[in-house]
Amino acid sequence: MESQSNNPLATPSQEQKPHKAGFVNIIGNPNVGKSTLMNALVGERLSIITSKAQTTRHRILGIVNGEDFQAILSDTPGIIKPAYELQASMMDFVKSAFEDADVLVYMVELGEKELKDEAFFNKIRNSKIPVLLLINKIDNGNEETLEASRTHWKEQVPNAEIFAISALENFGVAQVFNRILEALPVSPPFYPKDALTDKPERFFVNEIIREKILIHYKKEIPYSVEIDTEEFFEEDNIIRMRSIIMVERDSQKGIIIGHKGAALKRVGIEARKDLEVFFGKKVHMELYVKVNKNWRSSERELRRFGYNGK
């Protein structure tokens, strides 16, 4: 997918330098602000941001290009102990983020004390590549709390460089980005220089619809849903699409649709408005709900929806 706007952090070079490029992988516990940081760095809304945990399911690449650099940022699912096949696949995406990283960004929130998986934590502590440890949400605390957090994480991850940021308020993000650029290896670009992400348009249609479901539905409903955009036709002035909301049970289908279809209509209207902003043109959307029993535990279905850990 091509970029439609320039990242504000990606300023042109003043002199000719060797081109740098590399993979910058963001990891951490659920809901610490990884997606907010990713979107702030890329300058586009690529990742779902809600107050619910586990909103990022795939590994999403966002690409920031400058005259003499290409930073390929990876937003990964929050680290959890998997309870079913879908979550196991999500953790495969996190494992893959360790394998190709040139810079590792480990994100915690102010007051947090540990990563939820000791094996991942040991990989961070023993990493041979630059590790940037970001203490996020510092606007929720005071100087004393921040200093205690700095001391704790310096002891826990002595190989890391520590930055205090507020991704939501965009505080400290530019300093982190500049350090990322310093740490990138000299390399030609991996993707076309006008690329914004490696994901196709349908992926972002699915993610924006899923975001609305995360916002408006409670309990297990958001985590039992997958979106499949079956049709996507782009014309000069309009994009026509047909998307299916997959649920696991008939009772969930009824909840998604709502009384006289009102709940489903709200999801469709809000998703369409966001998609029109995202694509910069009018969108016509058809939205349906289907039951796909136990899709979260089916390896075949998970492969179909792209959960293959790569």
Question: Known binder of ligand: residue 142?
Answer: no
What percent of the chain lies above the pLDDT cut of 90? 21
- Give the residue with greater pLDDT, 8 vs 62: 62
Residue range(s) in the chain whose domain bears CATH number 3.30.300.20: 201-305
pLDDT at 53 over 80: no
Degrees to nearest 5, angle at CA 183 with 178 and 184: 100
Residue range(s) in the chain whose domain bears CATH number 3.40.50.300: 20-183
> Span 116-134, mean pLDDT?
80
Band the pLDDT of 282: cuts 50, 70, 90. Answer: very high
Question: Known binder of ligand: residue 258?
Answer: no
pLDDT score, position 273: 92
Alpha carbons 206 and 203: distance in angstroms, whole number? 5
Classify residue 298 as exposed, middle or buried by CB count within 10 Å of its CB (0-12, 13-18, 19+): middle
Question: Known binder of ligand: residue 32?
Answer: yes
Q: Which of 182-186, 195-199, 223-227 has the lowest mean pLDDT?
A: 195-199
Question: Known binder of ligand: residue 274?
Answer: no
Question: Known binder of ligand: residue 137?
Answer: yes
pLDDT score, position 310: 43
The superfamily (CATH) of domain 201-305 is K homology (KH) domain (3.30.300.20)
> Span 170-190, mean pLDDT?
91
Question: Known binder of ligand: residue 82?
Answer: no
Question: Known binder of ligand: residue 243?
Answer: no
- Give the residue with greater pLDDT, 283 vs 192: 283
Band the pLDDT of 247: cuts 50, 70, 90. Answer: confident
- Give the residue with greater pLDDT, 46 vs 108: 108
Question: Known binder of ligand: residue 29?
Answer: yes
Q: Scanning the structure block, which residue is given the tokens 């996020």? A: 136
For the whole prediction, is pTM greater than 0.85?
no
Question: Known binder of ligand: residue 79?
Answer: yes
Question: Known binder of ligand: residue 280?
Answer: no
Band the pLDDT of 267: cuts 50, 70, 90. Answer: very high
Band the pLDDT of 170: cuts 50, 70, 90. Answer: confident
Domain 20-183: assigned CATH number: 3.40.50.300
Question: Known binder of ligand: residue 75?
Answer: yes
12-16, 80-84, 113-117, 213-217, range with greatest mean pLDDT: 213-217
Question: Known binder of ligand: residue 188?
Answer: no
Band the pLDDT of 283: cuts 50, 70, 90. Answer: very high
pLDDT at 82 over 50: no
Question: Known binder of ligand: residue 206?
Answer: no
pLDDT score, position 214: 83
pLDDT score, position 175: 92
Question: Known binder of ligand: residue 7?
Answer: no
Q: Letter for the amino acid at 77?
A: P
Question: Known binder of ligand: residue 281?
Answer: no
